[in-house]
């Protein structure tokens, strides 16, 4: 059972209200401390999937107070171990617990802070994109799957794509703008560098690792949809994101590098297939990411933004599906290889 330590700071004269609000809420243990004459702190040890409901509740009541703050820490271990049966009985005492948001995942705030850093364009991001492009190009030219997989581990493509899905789900246009900026910057950096490699190096479009990225099929759609789901779940459930990042990179980085090298070498027909594959993967990853967040019940903290977030999510899902159908029909009628596998 994943645990969190939540520290809540409120005005000292609001401590009775704080204790009244958390009464009946699921928690393992709590400790209080008077910081000074103006501030009171309550530390709460609780299960990770109980944190979002409590954060939302406390923020609603105390957000306008000057000293209010919530700090959330991941807990590696606690001794003595929490008694799971007793905790489950305590959860059953609160009527709303069966309908709580956040069950089976981390809180919305924790998820947001995990992703916001990935939407900052930095020199580290640029170097990682260049490095992953070099490694991917080497693997493609040498027909080495092991080297290509290594490039996927390096590529920092997971965070910005998941952040875009989260921004869509929350109708957070500032986060969406930053996520799009970093995503397009990463694609542009890799594409331009791959084009330069295509100009300088001898490219064989019939090489197996290159040819497979120029012939999209329905299996690629399934792969990219699974990648988007895995990417979203990696952040919401604590799955090792480095491993899941490989799934997202396998859908984005190799076709992107193939596209650039083929353009640089002047193989325009083959490059068209790689471009279709790249578009399919981008659409499917974001479509499945938004769907995953919606199914998990991720929504804005304030009630007045929930309607806007629902409309934004529905519009985004409709647009992604429409674009995907257009690409599928375009592939079918362009006489490209569009078999199931």
The model's confidence at residue 89, banded by pLDDT at 50, 70 and 90, is: very low
The model's confidence at residue 237, banded by pLDDT at 50, 70 and 90, is: confident
* CATH classification (class only), 3-104: alpha beta
- What tens digit of pLDDT does each residue of 117-168 get? 889 999 999 999 999 999 999 999 999 888 888 887 788 888 898 899 999 9
CA distance 40 to 12: 5
Burial profile 53-69: b = 16 or more Cβ within 10 angstroms, e = fewer:
bbbbebeeebeeeebbe
- What tens digit of pLDDT does each residue of 93-126 get? 444 444 455 566 888 888 898 889 889 999 999 9
Percent of the chain with pLDDT over 70: 87
Q: How far is CA 81 from the centre of its chain?
A: 31
Q: Cβ(227)–Cβ(246) under 8 Å? A: no
- What tens digit of pLDDT does each residue of 184-209 get? 999 999 999 999 999 999 999 999 99
Compare 331 and 77 and report the one with higher pLDDT: 77
- What is the three-class DSSP state of 71? strand
CA distance 121 to 62: 34
CATH number, span 109-333: 1.20.1080
Dump the DSSP string for 192-207: HHHHHHHHHS---TTS
Over the chain, what is the mean pLDDT?
A: 85
Domain range list for the chain: 3-104, 109-333
Query: Of 280, 242, 237, nearest to 155 (Cα)?
Result: 242
The model scores a pTM over 0.95: no
CA distance 2 to 106: 9
Query: Of 303, 259, 309, 265, nearest to 281 (Cα)?
Result: 259
Helix (H), strand (E) at residue 94:
none
């Amino acid at each position: 059972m994943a645990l969190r330590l939540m520290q809540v700071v409120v005005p000292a004269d609001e401590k009775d209200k704080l204790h009244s609000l958390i009464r009946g809420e699921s928690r393992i243990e709590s400790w209080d401390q008077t910081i000074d004459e103006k501030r009171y702190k309550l530390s709460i040890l609780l299960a990770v999937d109980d944190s979002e409901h409590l954060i939302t509740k406390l923020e609603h009541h105390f957000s306008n107070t000057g000293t209010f703050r919530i700090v959330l820490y991941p807990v590696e271990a606690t001794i003595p171990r929490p008694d799971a049966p007793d905790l489950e009985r305590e959860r059953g005492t609160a009527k709303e617990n069966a309908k709580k948001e956040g069950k089976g995942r981390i809180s919305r705030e924790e998820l947001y802070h995990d992703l916001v850093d990935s939407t900052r364009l930095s020199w580290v991001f640029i170097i990682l994109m260049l490095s992953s492009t070099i490694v991917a190009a080497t693997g493609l030219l040498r027909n080495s799957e092991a080297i290509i997989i290594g490039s996927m581990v390096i590529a920092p493509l997971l965070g910005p794509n998941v952040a875009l899905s989260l921004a869509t789900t929350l109708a957070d246009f500032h986060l969406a703008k930053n996520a799009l900026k970093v995503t397009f910057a990463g694609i542009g950096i890799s594409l331009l560098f791959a084009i330069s490699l295509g100009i300088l190096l001898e490219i064989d479009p019939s090489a197996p690792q290159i040819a497979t990225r120029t012939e999209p099929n329905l299996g690629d759609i399934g792969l990219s949809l699974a990648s988007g789901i895995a990417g979203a779940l990696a952040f919401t459930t604590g799955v090792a994101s480095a491993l899941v990042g490989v799934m997202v990179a396998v859908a984005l980085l190799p076709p992107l590098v193939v596209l650039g090298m083929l353009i640089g070498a002047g193989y325009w027909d083959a490059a068209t297939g790689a471009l279709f594959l790249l578009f399919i993967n981008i659409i499917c990853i974001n479509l499945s990411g938004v769907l995953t967040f919606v199914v998990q019940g991720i929504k804005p903290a304030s009630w007045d933004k929930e309607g806007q977030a629902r409309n934004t999510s529905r519009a985004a899902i409709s647009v992604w599906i429409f674009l995907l159908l257009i690409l599928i029909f375009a592939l079918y009628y362009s006489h490209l290889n569009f078999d199931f596998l």
